[in-house]
Amino acid sequence: MILGSIQPAVLIAALMVAATPILLAAIGELVVEKAGVLNLGVEGMMILGAVAGFIVAVQTGNPTLGFIGAAVAGGVLALLFALLTQVLMANQVASGLALTLFGLGLSALLGQSYVGISPPRTPKLDLGPLSDIPFLGRAFFSHDALVYVAIAIVIGVLWFLKYSRAGLILRAVGENHDAAHGLGYHVKRVRALAIMFGGACAGLGGAYLSLIRVPQWTEGMTAGAGWIALALVVFASWRPFRALAGAYLFGGIVVLQLNLQAAGVKIPVEYLSMSPYLITIIVLVFISSGKARGSLNAPGSLNRPFHASG
Amino acid sequence: MIQLEKRLAPSKRAQYLNPFLAVALTMVAGGLMFAVLGKDPLAAIRLIFFDPIFSEQFGSYSRPQLLIKSAPLILIAVGLAIGFRAGIWNIGAEGQYIIGALCGAGVALAFYPMEGWFIFPLMVVAGALGGFLWAMIPAILKTRFNTNEILVSLLLVYVAEKLLAGMALGLLRNPDVAGFPGSRDLRRYESAHNADLIANTGMHWGVVAAMIAVILAYVMMTRHSLGYQVRLAGQAPRAARFAGVSPTRLVVVCFGIAGVLAGLAGMFEVSGPSGQVRIDFASGYGFTAIIVAFLGRLNPIGIVLAGLLLGLTYIGGELSQMMLQLPGAAIQVFQGMLLFFLLALDFQTNYRLKLTKGARA
């Protein structure tokens, strides 16, 4: 039996690692969409974060600085998107695509002399006795800090959107920008800040791929992770905890698929590695149809431009 | 104080002028980028935009390349533009292009080594059908289950790429050569070869198909009621629904047209310039075509010009890689910047800057 060789504790540990990059990107995009903006440039911001984080980490020998650099790079690229869509009123879909195409090119350009190098190791977080608990320790408490940072961001976003005043304003801007404007809130400013937060998160997610998950830099290494993160936001019906659950579910599928490859199942690798994309599509279909109708929960002003007249 | 004011009607002048301005700005910004990379900016710009056509040295090689690179871009962009006009976002043309190529090549390889006049037409049909069916996946999921067509069409690109790899290593692999992934070379199989119609011009059947597609799309958009429906749905979706335009039908039609054209582009590429089903067959035409469509103002005639320009940057990119050791990715950055500048400039199509006296609340 093939599945018999897979240890549950190792599987859980691996799925948490596999889920973290898309979780980071998705929670950022969730906030952006809650503010009423659709940024399709997640893939571009992620890959720029991946290369920027890699370069900074290699140059300084410090992975923490790498992650900071990645967040900054993602945020700066997102600022470009904010400039286009909020100030210059460009179409959000087209601008997002431009961001992705530009990010893929720029990252390849920046990273060309970094191919084949190993980044400095990111240490595992020392949780003392927790890591020694049988099963639980191996599965949940022997990770690098970013795995927990991602979870903390999810909880933070949940609190922010639900209980904070600023979060309420952000949601108002996303649900009905005319009403929010009428109440005197700065729609564009709120949106620009949300967009930058999304960029920083996507950058972190990208750097997690290049510094921890893989860990190496290769051209186009995000391989659609940014798009899967976008799908995850729809899957989560714009709810932070569902994004967490969805990301871990997805991580589980990826890990299972990799294990099947390693176990030498009689399906060629190329076909097995289609599964993350196919499963994402199938899940999207289920979410957007039927009784659940997750799409009904979409922010009211999503992908609608705002321009205050007069 | 400066304020943005919405124009009552989009400025026609800005609409036509902006692509040229965007190209000029991209040249300036690109020059700066080359300077940062330690290359002579003027030499690089010249190599990318002028030498492929005018140089004595490379002209004989690169002039035919212009048609070879531009034809798939134009073919795909014409189809995409129709959808973009209607607000239907098919961004998975790259996948439809790959599947078209696989289907076309599959038919050819099934008949190998038989010769016959009917093989090439059959490949054309298979390529178009392959692209069409691949495009129908997001279209039907959209109309039947209300699934986001942007995400599905894009995710299917990755599936198509994996399928391409699987085919190149498995089913369509050349059985006569051990060790090398990739199919038989269709250029050595006369009945399946999409050869130059006039030798050494780059003028193959794909170029002819692109020209026909441009003319048909132009007629459709300006003379046929379908074109009117597309434009109406894009500008005023509610009005379109009252006028009896079926959104479902429009999604299927727009995806269908784009899928057929992208599939054809892939088929003409695999049977001619590329010749083989290889892992690295997909070269990003499906994504660059999105830039072509926007730069061409979603207008078939404009797309021809934009396609030629972007085709030029592909060749110029190759030249500058050879001559200046510029990294290949530089040209991708270049293309991305072009779209950025265009989108940024377009604000003056719909808005104008207005000076107002003093600060107002």
* In chain A, residues 131-150 whose CB comes closer than 8 Å to chain B: none
Both tokens of B263, joined, read 């599939």
User: B133-152: per-residue pLDDT in tens?
Assistant: 999 999 999 999 888 899 99
Q: Do A277 and B4 touch (CB under 8 A)?
A: no
Q: What is the structure's pLDDT at B252?
A: 94
Question: Cα separation of B197 and B71, whole Å?
Answer: 14
CB of A229 less than 8 A from some CB of B: no
User: A67-85: per-residue pLDDT in tens?
Assistant: 999 999 999 999 999 999 9
The residues, ordered by sequence, that sit 6+ positions from A34 with a Cβ below 8 Å of its Cβ are A161, A170, A171, A174, A194, A238, A299
Provide the residue count of chain B: 361
Judge whether A307 lies within some domain.
Answer: no
Question: Cα separation of B338 and B291, whole Å?
Answer: 8
Question: Which band of pLDDT confidence, cut at 50, 70 and 90, is reported for residue B360?
Answer: very low
Q: Do A289 and B91 touch (CB under 8 A)?
A: no
Estimate to the nearest angstrom the gap between the alpha carbon of B326 and the chain centroid. Answer: 24
* B301: pLDDT strictly greater than 50: yes
User: B219-248: per-residue pLDDT in tens?
Assistant: 988 888 888 888 888 888 888 888 888 888
Which strand (E) or helix (H) includes residue B3?
Answer: strand B2-6
Both tokens of B289, joined, read 């075509």
* A98: pLDDT strictly greater than 50: yes
The alpha carbon of residue B208 is apart from the nearest alpha carbon of chain A, in Å, by 29
User: A170-221: per-residue pLDDT in tens?
Assistant: 999 888 888 888 888 888 899 999 999 999 999 999 999 999 888 889 888 8
Task: Classify A299 in phi/psi space as left (phi over 0), alpha (psi -120 to 50) or beta.
Answer: beta
Compute the 3-state secondary structure of chain A and give helix, strand, coil in percent, each to the nearest 5: 75, 0, 25
| Pairing verdict, β B351-355 and B2-6 | antiparallel
Residue A69: burial class (beta carbons within 10 Å; 0-12, 13-18, 19+): buried
Question: Which band of pLDDT confidence, cut at 50, 70 and 90, is reported for residue B1?
Answer: low
Question: Cα separation of A258 and A273, whole Å?
Answer: 8
CB of A296 less than 8 A from some CB of B: no
Mean local confidence (pLDDT), B98-105: 95
Q: Do B152 and A281 touch (CB under 8 A)?
A: yes
Judge whether A304 lies within some domain.
Answer: no
- CATH number of the structural domain spanning residue A280: 1.10.3470
- Chain A residues with beta carbon closer than 8 angstroms to that of B8: none
Number of other residues whose CB lies within 10 A of the CB of residue B67: 20
Say if CB A51 and CB A114 are below 8 A apart. yes
The DSSP string of B216-235 is HHHHHHHHSHHHHHHHHHHH
- Chain B residues with beta carbon closer than 8 angstroms to that of A228: 155
Q: What is the structure's pLDDT at B332?
A: 85
CA atoms lying within 13 Å on the CB side of residue B223: 6
Q: What is the structure's pLDDT at B116?
A: 83
Judge whether A86 lies within some domain.
Answer: yes
Say if CB A13 and CB A170 are below 8 A apart. no
CB of A221 less than 8 A from some CB of B: no
* A58: pLDDT strictly greater than 70: yes
Nearest CB neighbour to A223, from listed B152, B158, B334: B158
CB of A81 less than 8 A from some CB of B: no
Mean local confidence (pLDDT), B81-99: 93
Residue of A nearest to B327 (CA): A109
* A1: pLDDT strictly greater than 50: no
Q: What is the structure's pLDDT at B283?
A: 83
* A270: pLDDT strictly greater than 90: no
Q: At what angle do helices A225-235 and B149-169 cross, to 10 degrees?
A: 140
To probe the interface with B, which of A99, A277, A278, A296 has the most B CB atoms within 10 Å? A277
The DSSP string of B155-216 is HHHHHHHHHHHHHHHTTTS-TTSSS--S---GGGSGGG----SBTTTTB-HHHHHHHHHHHH
Question: Which band of pLDDT confidence, cut at 50, 70 and 90, is reported for residue A260?
Answer: confident
User: B20-30: per-residue pLDDT in tens?
Assistant: 998 999 889 98
User: A109-167: per-residue pLDDT in tens?
Assistant: 888 888 888 888 877 777 777 777 777 777 777 788 888 999 999 999 999 999 999 99
Question: Which band of pLDDT confidence, cut at 50, 70 and 90, is reported for residue A293?
Answer: low
Mean local confidence (pLDDT), B182-191: 80
Both tokens of A64, joined, read 């923490």
Nearest CB neighbour to A284, from listed B91, B152, B158: B152
CB of A164 less than 8 A from some CB of B: no
Judge whether A302 lies within some domain.
Answer: no
Nearest CB neighbour to B330, from listed A103, A109, A281: A109
Q: Do B331 and A284 touch (CB under 8 A)?
A: no
CB of A297 less than 8 A from some CB of B: no
Q: Quick check: bond before B113 cis, omega within 30?
A: yes
Question: Cα separation of A183 and B136, whole Å?
Answer: 45
- Chain B residues with beta carbon closer than 8 angstroms to that of A90: 343-344, 346-347
Residue A3 has what DSSP assignment?
Answer: G
Q: What is the structure's pLDDT at B47?
A: 83
- Chain B residues with beta carbon closer than 8 angstroms to that of A98: 336, 339-340, 343
Judge whether A183 lies within some domain.
Answer: yes
| Domain encompassing residue A61 | 3-297
* A286: pLDDT strictly greater than 80: yes
Give the number of domains in chain A: 1
Question: Is residue A245 classed as helix, strand or coil in its secondary structure?
Answer: helix
- Chain A residues with beta carbon closer than 8 angstroms to that of B329: 105-109, 112, 219
Sign of CA dihedral B108, B276, A102, B13: negative
User: B55-84: per-residue pLDDT in tens?
Assistant: 777 777 778 888 899 999 999 999 999 999
Q: What is the structure's pLDDT at A281?
A: 92
Question: Which band of pLDDT confidence, cut at 50, 70 and 90, is reported for residue B357?
Answer: low
Q: Do B166 and A277 touch (CB under 8 A)?
A: no
* B321: pLDDT strictly greater than 60: yes
Question: Cα separation of B48 and A91, whole Å?
Answer: 29
Higher pLDDT among residues B211 and A126, named by residue: B211
The DSSP string of A156-178 is HHHHHHHH-HHHHHHHHHHH-HH
The alpha carbon of residue B166 is apart from the nearest alpha carbon of chain A, in Å, by 5
Judge whether A212 lies within some domain.
Answer: yes
* Percentage of chain B lying above the pLDDT 70 cut: 98
What are the angstrom distances between the C-alpha of A259 and each of A1, A10, A248, B113, B233?
13, 11, 16, 41, 48
Q: What is the structure's pLDDT at A57?
A: 93
Sign of CA dihedral B323, B326, B331, B334: negative
Question: Cα separation of A224 and A277, whole Å?
Answer: 8
Residue of B nearest to A113 (CA): B327
Mean local confidence (pLDDT), B314-320: 86
User: A238-254: per-residue pLDDT in tens?
Assistant: 999 989 999 998 888 88
Mean local confidence (pLDDT), A14-31: 92
Question: Tokens 């039908």 identify what position?
Answer: B249
Q: What is the structure's pLDDT at B361?
A: 43
The alpha carbon of residue A105 is apart from the nearest alpha carbon of chain B, in Å, by 5
Sign of CA dihedral A203, A204, A205, A209: positive
Q: What is the structure's pLDDT at B290?
A: 93
Question: Which band of pLDDT confidence, cut at 50, 70 and 90, is reported for residue A310?
Answer: very low
- Chain B residues with beta carbon closer than 8 angstroms to that of A80: 340
* Percentage of chain B lying above the pLDDT 90 cut: 37
Number of other residues whose CB lies within 10 A of the CB of residue A181: 17
Question: Is residue B2 classed as helix, strand or coil in its secondary structure?
Answer: strand
Judge whether A267 lies within some domain.
Answer: yes
Number of other residues whose CB lies within 10 A of the CB of residue B175: 7
Q: What is the structure's pLDDT at B255?
A: 95
Judge whether A303 lies within some domain.
Answer: no
